[in-house]
């Protein structure tokens, strides 16, 4: 019997492992990966970012920034999450997506922890970092979970496809924490996603070289997740599809890590994974679960808007938690 704590740690470490594994082959095609590595199945670093072995990218870093903001405030406060993302960007991260950068700059200039709806914001940046929200909202009401997903997502990505993918992943993680089988995941949240948005279908043709478009990303992740029966095979499959491989690896890693638990993670990968990142993941996972179960009242901070100094512009209008 795998405990929820083991599943939570497995999800967080799985995210980091998938990120570090996939970053080596990010933006490569499957054929280029074969030519360079045969089958890419070790944490070797390198890639276009010239990473050290076991180094992670924005997928893991933003997740930890989000988790840190939740734990520091004891609730889901969009203002504090946006501020944490802004602080992370000030540290000059090794990688940052254009949509994420725009959303953070928007927050700095306007003080608003949300961007306007846009058909161009259907990237995977909100989905890749959602794990802390999933852990902090475990066993909460459906409406509270939805609002929490939107609160963190819309800081940078305000798009219905991004929202749908992110909420599907959270629902899969929640079932995974309960020990649900893959058929329950497939016929529950995944079936609901496909019924509402058929473009996410993943079993009609091979999903290779997935882009940062969240539909491409999730199709590749779901195809690998449901094709294999162990953590390592899922991650090796998805990153060897190429494309936005650090993010497909991160999302597949959180799902597979939650499903199979911490003990299923390969020891040889953990030995290479950045030790500070491991420590942070192991610390945040149980603390976020405790936040979900210990919070008696509303978890999401309500936000209203009034004129006040904020962001990088003293004339801005900043949301105030009330």
Global pTM reads 0.94
pLDDT digits (tens, 9 = 90+) for 189-227: 999 999 999 999 998 678 999 999 999 999 999 999 999
Q: Read off the CATH number of the domain in which 79 is found.
A: 1.10.4080.10
Flag whether 44 is in a domain.
no
Tokens of 142: 């459906």
Flag whether 300 is in a domain.
yes
pLDDT digits (tens, 9 = 90+) for 1-50: 999 999 999 999 999 999 999 999 999 999 999 999 999 999 999 999 99
Flag whether 45 is in a domain.
no
Q: What domain range is 60 assigned to?
A: 4-38+53-117+124-321
Query: pLDDT grade, residue 321 (50/70/90)?
Result: very low
Number of domains in the chain: 1
Does residue 315 have a pLDDT over 70? no
- Taking CA atoms, 54 is separated from 42, 96, 130, 230, in Å, by 9, 18, 21, 21
Flag whether 259 is in a domain.
yes
Flag whether 263 is in a domain.
yes
- Specify whether the CB–CB gap between 81 and 130 falls below 8 A: no
Flag whether 46 is in a domain.
no
Flag whether 48 is in a domain.
no
* Average per-residue pLDDT for the chain: 92
- Taking CA atoms, 66 is separated from 129, 171, 228, 271, 313, in Å, by 8, 18, 30, 25, 23
Flag whether 278 is in a domain.
yes
Does residue 153 have a pLDDT over 80? yes
């Amino acid at each position: 019997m795998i405990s929820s704590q083991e599943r939570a740690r497995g999800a967080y470490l799985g995210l980091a492992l998938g990120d570090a594994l996939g970053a080596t082959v990010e933006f490569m095609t499957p054929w280029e990966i074969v030519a360079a590595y045969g089958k890419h199945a070790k944490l070797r670093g390198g890639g276009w970012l010239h990473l050290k072995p076991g180094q992670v990218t924005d997928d893991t870093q933003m997740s930890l920034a989000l988790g840190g903001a939740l734990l520091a405030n004891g609730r889901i406060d969009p203002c504090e999450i946006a501020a944490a993302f802004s602080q992370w960007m000030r540290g000059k991260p090794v990688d940052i997506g254009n949509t994420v950068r725009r959303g953070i700059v928007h927050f700095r200039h306007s003080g608003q922890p949300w961007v306007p709806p846009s058909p161009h914001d259907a990237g995977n940046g909100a989905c890749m970092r959602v794990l802390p929200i999933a852990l902090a909202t475990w066993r909460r009401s459906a409406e509270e979970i939805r609002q929490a997903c939107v609160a963190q997502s819309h800081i940078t990505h305000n798009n219905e496809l991004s929202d749908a993918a992110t909420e599907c992943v959270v629902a899969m993680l929640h079932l995974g924490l309960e020990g649900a089988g893959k058929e329950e995941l497939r016929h529950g949240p995944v079936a609901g996603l496909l019924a509402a948005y058929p473009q996410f279908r993943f079993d009609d043709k091979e999903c290779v070289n997935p882009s940062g478009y969240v539909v491409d990303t999730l199709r590749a992740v779901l195809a690998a997740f449901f094709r294999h029966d162990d953590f390592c095979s899922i991650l090796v499959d998805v990153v060897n599809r190429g494309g936005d491989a650090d993010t497909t690896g991160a999302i597949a890693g959180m799902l597979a890590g939650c499903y199979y638990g911490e003990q299923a993670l390969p020891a040889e990968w953990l030995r290479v994974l950045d030790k500070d990142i491991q420590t942070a993941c192991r610390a945040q996972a149980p603390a976020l679960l405790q936040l979900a179960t210990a919070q008696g009242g509303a978890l999401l901070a309500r936000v209203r808007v009034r004129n006040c100094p904020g962001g990088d512009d003293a004339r801005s209008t900043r949301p105030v938690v009330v």
